[in-house]
């Protein structure tokens, strides 16, 4: 009986495969970058989620405080003011969600780091937006 060392056989097979494969170094680099990017995406998603939960907790606490203030007031003006204060905070949290979502998309896609497109040779000056007057139907 011979003693078979599977780890040595595995290493030997890997070396044979990698040495016979002409682009093994570039594939190794691509694999490394792929997993680094996966890690970055996961970190960004985790940060986004954590901030989202913080805003939700803030929202529930401010809603509870607003309800307590509204129930403890003696005038309609104070009730409306408490509601407006709560609604303003709710709107700010909604806007923060939208901004955070956009930042997450940009971070995931790398949209801000891509080079701008070169202008075509036909365009010699800066790009202009052309606006046309709205077409109005004649009313009889």
pLDDT tens, residue by residue, 44-71: 899 989 998 998 999 999 999 999 999 9
Is 64 within the bounds of a domain?
A: yes
Q: List the single range of 28-37, 45-54, 76-85, 122-131 with lowest mean pLDDT.
A: 122-131
Distance CA 76, CA 83 (A): 11
Structural domain total, the chain: 1
DSSP code string of 64-110: HHHHHHHHT-SSHHHHHHHHHHHHHHHHHHHHHHHHHHHHHHHHHHT
Is 101 within the bounds of a domain?
A: yes
Is 85 within the bounds of a domain?
A: yes
Do residues 62 and 89 touch, judged by C-beta distance below 8 A?
yes
């Amino acid at each position: 009986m011979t003693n078979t060392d599977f780890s040595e056989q595995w290493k030997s097979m890997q070396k044979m495969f990698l040495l016979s494969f002409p682009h093994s170094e570039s594939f190794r680099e691509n694999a490394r970058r792929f997993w680094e990017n996966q890690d970055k995406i996961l970190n960004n998603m985790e940060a986004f989620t954590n901030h989202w939960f913080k805003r939700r907790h803030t929202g529930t606490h401010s809603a509870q405080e607003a309800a307590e203030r509204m129930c403890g007031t003696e005038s309609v003006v104070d009730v409306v003011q408490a509601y407006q204060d709560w609604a303003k905070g709710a709107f700010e949290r909604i806007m923060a969600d939208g901004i955070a979502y956009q930042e997450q998309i940009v971070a995931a896609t790398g949209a801000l780091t891509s080079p701008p497109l070169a202008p075509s040779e036909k365009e010699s000056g800066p790009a202009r937006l052309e606006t046309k007057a709205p077409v109005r139907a004649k009313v009889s």
